[in-house]
Structure 1
Amino acid sequence: MPNDFNQPVIDEFRANRGRMTGYFEGARLLLLTTTGARTGTPHTTPVGYLPDGDRVLVIASAAGSDRHPDWFRNLVAHPQVTVESGTFTYEARAEVLTGEERDRLFARAVEADAGWATYQEKTTRVIPVVALHSLAQGGPGTINATSFGEAIKVVHDAFRHELTLIRGELAAGTTTLGAQLRVNCLTFCQGLHNHHTGEDLALFPLVAERHPGSAPALARLREEHERIAGLVEELRESLASTTDAAAVRVEVERLTSALEAHLTYEEEELVPLFDAAA
């Protein structure tokens, strides 16, 4: 039976592809569907997450309850889960982390949000940290879109949203760059690199074949990919060499400006081609 609190959150999340208002506005949220440990039926729960390279982390805090949340007990019994990020839906393998790795990542979560420590203080149980590993082959999962043109905009909006979160975290943080914020930036950089590589190798050749007149636009987009790759590398170097959040903020703002212009131009040039074909 749907949870009276969770269901409106789930409905808003799906209707707006992960963009939330109210209490969860600006939060890192995903929908986690597990298989009931006793019933075998699917259960969907909104949970907060932390980026961690090619996986995401979720924390079974249950707001500091002495009892593990139902979704955690479910994934212990059935480790294959479904993740909805708003942009993508994919199957994942849940791994309950232990020992030094669990402690290190929980400490990183606390550094990003002291509320996790407050929850741990409320209970004698060790709050679990779970890594979700995507099982999707050849990509991040199924894009939540009904057309190719819409898919481009949905993926672009995901990058815009992530940059907004990172900029907000930089603005709200201390003068020292936190470990989790550093990981957030690096995860974003890798995702952007993968996206542009996929466009260069697969999408742009397809567009060129079907729409020869798009050659000038594709040439400009490829040049912009190279320029953005340079900005990403400068951000990586800044992350590696400093703990000064202000210095990193400068690099993030430069990347944001260039990327926003690039995404807008790509949508103006390519989306009409796919919409017309559809």
Structure 2
Amino acid sequence: MPIDFNQHVIDEFRANAGRVGGPFEGGRLLLLTTTGARTGARHTTPLGYLPDGGERVIVIASAAGAPRHPAWYHNLVANPRVTIEDGTFTYEADAVVLAGAERDEIFARAVEADPGWAEYQAKTTRTLPVVALKAIDGGSPEGRPGDALKAVHAAFRRELELVRKEIADSGPGLGAQLRINCLTLCQGLEHHHAMEDGGMFPHFERAVPELAPAMARLREEHRTVKRLLDELSALLAAERPDREVLLAEVERLTAALEAHLDYEEEQLIPLLNG
């Protein structure tokens, strides 16, 4: 992509917490900053990515099927330490070029989710590299603590919106990548709630005793969301989950989570920002 187009996307991404229009609208996008293999200069590129569970995401060096690998790929081969911006967090990661069966399995997942990857591969004689970006620190949102919490919530809302659309648009079967998208969301929510239960909530209970009823309600809502996440995970483990049943479970989760996030923001953001 032309440099000026890339810069427009980068500016829009940073101004809108990761949301952009144009060809990336409605998709998963990150900003990858690499160190130049020859110059040592820092270069930022917008890229679509695939969730991969845990602490890593996947990018593919397609260059839209061009005959040569993109510059960002050469950079990270020479300097694997990269910086990722996902619209909420900015963090350091190590890039690993996948090979063999692992590369082929993940590329097949990508093609199943979006046949455009196969079209790019068909345009070139090179094998499109598949790269795992493994986080080495969690990063943190910028701004006041309450604004940071709201940004994290917005990221969960957006990912849930994407997953709901992907399930609604899927065929009778459930693709491997879509399963991973769902499970990655489940893992992220469980981790976030565990951090709140173990840290932020006890702090507020000590500092503001009159918040005890609100903290009790939030903890109970965490248990409700956990139950819904467990039920969703069980459905995803089935060989051929029913799409309509799965979508209904995601809708139940969405309703419960939206109500929980709204209440938590109402109760905690004024205190966190105060």
Instruction: Quote the RMSD (CA, aligned, Å).
Output: 1.0
Of 215, 222, 226, which residue of structure 2 is paired with 1:225? 222
> How far 1:20 moved relative to its partner?
1.4
**1:255-274 residue pairs with structure 2 within 5 A?**
255-274=253-272
Q: Which residue of 1 aligns with 2:32?
A: 32
CA contact (8 A) 1:30 1:47 kept: yes
Matched, 1:239 2:236: yes
Gap regions ≥5 residues in structure 2: none
Q: Equivalents in 1 of 2:159, 2:77: separation in Å?
A: 30
Q: Give the secondary structure class of the aligned counterpart of 1:26.
A: coil
Answer yes or no: is 1:190 the counterpart of 2:187: yes
Residue of structure 1 equivalent to 2:250: 252
SS at match of 2:4: coil
* TM-score (norm. length: structure 2): 0.97
Checking the alignment, whether the CA contact within 8 Å between 1:175 and 1:246 is kept in structure 2 is: no
> How far has the Cα of 1:245 moved from its partner?
2.1
Per-residue deviation at 1:171? Answer: 1.4
- Percent identity reads 63
The size of the alignment, in residue pairs, is 271
Pairing 1:43-122 to 2, within 5 Å after superposition:
43-54=43-54, 55-122=56-123
**One-letter identity of the residue aligned with 1:92:** A
Bigger mean CA offset, 196-205 vs 238-247: 238-247
Residue 178 of structure 1 contacts residue 243 of structure 1 at CA under 8 Å; is this kept in 2? no
Distance in 2 separating the partners of 1:245 and 1:97: 31
Partner of 2:273: 275
Partner of residue 9, structure 1: 9
1:23, distance to aligned residue in structure 2 (A): 2.6
What CA distance in whole angstroms lies between the structure 2 residues aligned with 1:62 and 1:31?
15
Structure 1 gaps, min length 5: none
Q: Please point out which of 131, 152, 160 is paired with 2:149.
A: 152
How far has the Cα of 1:142 moved from its partner?
2.0
Deviations 1:171-225 (A, max 9, x none): 1111211110000000000000000000000010111122111111000000000
Equivalent-residue separation in structure 1 for 2:52 and 2:3 (angstroms): 29
Give the whole-Å Cα distance in 1 for the aligned partners of 2:204 and 2:124: 56
Partner amino acid for 2:76? Answer: L
Rounded Cα–Cα distance in structure 1 between residues aligned with 2:47 and 2:24 = 11
1:29 partner letter: L
